Amino acid sequence: MEQIKILVADDEERMRKLLKDFFTRRGYIVKEAADGEEALERFFEDKEISLILLEVMMPKMDGFQVLKEVRQYSDVPVIMLTAKGEEQDELNGFRLGVDEYVTKPFSPKLLAARVEAVLRRYHLTNEDVLSAGGIVVDKKAHEVTIDGERIELSFKEFELLTYFIENQGIALSREKILNSVWNYDYFGDARTIDTHVKKLRSKMKGKEDYIRTIWGVGYKFEVPQGAEA
């Protein structure tokens, strides 16, 4: 398999060794960091890191601080490792742009499955044609069809729908959507997202429920079981 590079940031040496050994055996290249500052150093010195496993509680800089810094420059997938499992911590992470949470203690096989799922979603961004539950997005032609019928979307509605499909199953904060779809130089109110989502839903011909509102976070695009493409 193509060797994918992962950064493991955890202040517990035993945990770093366990994860490095496990993922190395599965064909990944693993970089290590023992604290938040080292995690940022490792990330910025290596442009080929494809995913970060990030412990929340670390010295010098905690995982949230690291995530906030990384998100200013990159959309690299981030899975946070936490022993807390508290709802408020998870909401905070999702607002900052985390892709997944895994609570300690965890099974390495379960973590590997999460890593592979996140990487699959992430690599959808390299595809020119996306499909989900009867919705087909042709990025080159800038066209969208629903159950074979073409629908007319504004430029931002098209970009928003594309972003949702590329990030299926991920809870996306309004801030992350603004940063990704409107870019970092856009200084509008986050309620702009709500307005565009409302307009987009009105054009989705019975599939508006695919875009779920996640209270306290933002939105998640999810195709109901039985409606998969």
* 12: CATH: 3.40.50.2300
Please count the structural domains in the chain: 2
The reported pLDDT for the residue numbered 136 is 93
Based on the fold, state whether residues 210 and 150 are members of the same structural domain. Answer: yes
* 29 falls within a domain: yes
User: In sequence order, what are the beta bridge partners of 135?
Assistant: 132, 146
Residue 228, class by beta-carbon neighbours within 10 Å (0-12 exposed, 13-18 middle, 19+ buried)?
exposed
Based on the fold, state whether residues 103 and 175 are members of the same structural domain. Answer: no
Based on the fold, state whether residues 182 and 114 are members of the same structural domain. Answer: no
Q: Tens-of-pLDDT digits for all 229 residues of the chain?
A: 457 899 999 999 999 999 999 999 988 999 999 999 999 999 999 988 999 999 988 999 998 999 989 988 888 889 988 876 566 667 777 777 888 888 888 888 888 888 887 887 776 555 678 888 899 999 888 899 999 999 999 988 998 999 999 888 888 888 788 877 876 545 556 778 899 999 999 999 999 999 999 988 899 999 887 665 4
The reported pLDDT for the residue numbered 176 is 80
The reported pLDDT for the residue numbered 227 is 65
The reported pLDDT for the residue numbered 207 is 94
* 228 falls within a domain: no
The range of the structural domain enclosing residue 160 comes to 127-221
- This prediction has a pTM of 0.57
The reported pLDDT for the residue numbered 192 is 83
